[in-house]
Chains A and B, each alone.
Chain A
């Protein structure tokens, strides 16, 4: 599956101030001090006290509401029963059955379309973000004047708020007056006539590209930092042994980037499956229905829950989505386990 990568820091030497990019920090020799102090009750008390505030907040805003959210998926929760919230009628797995198998249920059809779009969207976005990020990182991984400035400028799209990205791109995608059609058709003559981007099958591209535009700079920065930790001697030695650029990339760069790639891959998948802001702001004056070619799961669930008052369905769909994501993470963990050794 994977080649085990030697730890970049030889044991016994003090670690550099920054751990290798992308890898969970704290690799290398474990501190003896920690183990010497381990188990002493006084230290533990301090550790518990330090963790307590974060733990309490996470308990209140993550754990308890999540359990209630799971409970909601077993209830008949609609506009008539909402006031009773968790005391609404218990219907067991009925919501799940409707969401998954009920051909009569219009909600299910909508969710199936949204699931298909989300799968395409996530796969394409993740691929494009990682490929662009890696490609540009390789391009910029050389010394040239103004490199620091370029690196900073490249991160700007990532800083722009996502809802601004949605509004800005909906303006740029505009069929008649939008700049994208003007460039493609009026200036470059790549297409015979101006296509619709915000309706019909093109919609999926209209939501993919802004998402990629906003996400890839961050991945690029992480990869660039990882590339700079690779010692130049490795390449020199490989070149002396007669390895060409492709083989050097394949056998030096890629294996050493694997931890960074693994982490970014997971984050990109999670982010794109749960994408919401950009798409919601691009369509319907912020109401967010992108049509059947661009409707995403999170948005469809939000619409079912808060516009159609079908909270039980929404909760069941959310739980199913979360289970699917856990499956993805488990698979990811099995593939990249060696890269994630901490301590």
Chain B
């Protein structure tokens, strides 16, 4: 074989391998969507076709559970959490990246250590703290949006601080110095010069928080027992109990749940991918 022919074979093999990896990676997702459009009988017989998709499944699922309510709750809780956690992480990340202050290293260590505590450890204490707040201040916390938002904000802030800190550290100091020479205050330099530059990082951090909040299960189980504030995973869990073997409906629910995060990801992937790989993040 000539070297050129060998090179062509080599490239063809690499392309084939790449295609195989892509197909294998995406197959389960395609299977989920495909199964959500079959009838139960066909699923059990294993006859899967796209000849007549049953959109009926989606209507039925939407009518059976109050899926709209769960979706709304998840959107509100995850959305507001994203905003608050992003704000906190931006401020703290900037302080860690630019200032040497007493306790900075300790705080950085604390930020990383939070990732090592098993969530189950503070589940019950937080529940009791919430009850105590209600008894003391008359403010209900369990089964409320703000209770969930408070927990999630605190949960996803540490990792977000870490990502934002990486972004700010990568921005040259000369920019702030120029702004300071032009008479800006320290905070003004941060607000007007650095923050606009870190927009890609902010988007990456925001998407990261949103995906994580959307995915949280353990605390949502304990802290939301009423349908009015329960998030999607709680709704889905009830749903599994009711329709154990109706995989057509379950796959429809799974698909609907996946759509918001996939759309969020696809819209922001340009910044997100570069952002996530800039600092290394828990994925």
Contact = CB atoms under 8 A, between A and B. Distances in A.
Interface of A: 14-19, 21-26, 31-35, 37-39, 42-44, 46-48, 50-51, 53-55, 57-58, 60-66, 68-70, 72, 85-86, 136, 139-140, 142, 144, 150-164, 167-169, 171-172, 177, 179, 182, 213, 215, 217-219, 221-222, 224-226, 260, 263-264, 267, 270-271, 274, 276-277, 280-281, 285-286, 298, 301-302, 305-306, 311, 314-315, 318-319, 321-322, 325-326, 329
Given A26-B166, A177-B46, A325-B116, A47 B101 contact: yes
Contacts of A159: 211, 258, 261-262, 265
Looking at chain B's contact residues, the main secondary structure is: helix
Contacts of B25: 153-154, 156-157, 213, 217
Given A276-B218, A285-B241, A167 B157 contact: no
Contacts of A298: 118-120
A73 B144 CA distance: 29
B114 A161 contact: no
A60 B126 CA distance: 9
Most buried by B among A140, A182, A280, A285: A285
B89 A277 contact: no
Given A61-B154, A161-B232, A267-B281, 6 more contacts: A53-B88, A58-B157, A65-B129, A66-B125, A136-B21, A160-B29
Interface stretch (B54-62, B64-72, B243-251): B243-251
Contacts of B281: 267
B273 A155 contact: yes
Contacts of B83: none
Nearest to B185: A46
Nearest to A45: B101
Contacts of B167: 25
A18 B18 contact: no
Nearest to B110: A58
A137 to B, nearest CB: 11
Nearest to A23: B280
Contacts of A38: 99-100
26 contacts: A18-B274, A24-B279, A25-B170, A25-B279, A50-B95, A51-B101, A54-B89, A54-B92, A57-B150, A58-B110, A62-B154, A151-B273, A154-B22, A159-B261, A162-B215, A163-B237, A219-B283, A270-B116, A271-B282, A276-B119, A280-B217, A281-B217, A285-B240, A305-B120, A314-B120, A318-B120
Contacts of A17: 170-171
Contacts of A326: 116
Contacts of A16: 170
A65 B278 CA distance: 32
Contact of A321 (B118, B258, B276): B118
B3 interface: no
B165 A25 contact: yes
Interface of B: 14-15, 17-18, 21-22, 25-26, 28-29, 31-32, 35, 43-46, 87-89, 91-92, 94-102, 104, 107, 110-111, 114-126, 128-129, 150-151, 153-155, 157-158, 161, 165-167, 169-173, 176-177, 186-187, 211, 214-215, 217-218, 222, 232-233, 236-237, 240-241, 244, 247, 250-251, 254, 257-258, 261-262, 265-266, 269, 273-274, 276-283
A15 B251 contact: no
A65 B170 contact: no
A58 B109 CA distance: 13
Given A58-B114, A60-B154, A142-B14, A66 B121 contact: yes
Contact of B124 (A69, A225, A260): A69
Nearest to B97: A26
Contacts of A163: 215, 217, 233, 236-237
Contacts of A267: 280-283
Contacts of B91: 50-51, 53-54
Contacts of B98: 31, 34, 47
Contact of A153 (B22, B122, B232): B22
Contacts of A19: 166, 169-170, 278-279
B223 to A, nearest CB: 12
A59 B88 CA distance: 14
A25 B102 CA distance: 21
Nearest to B124: A311
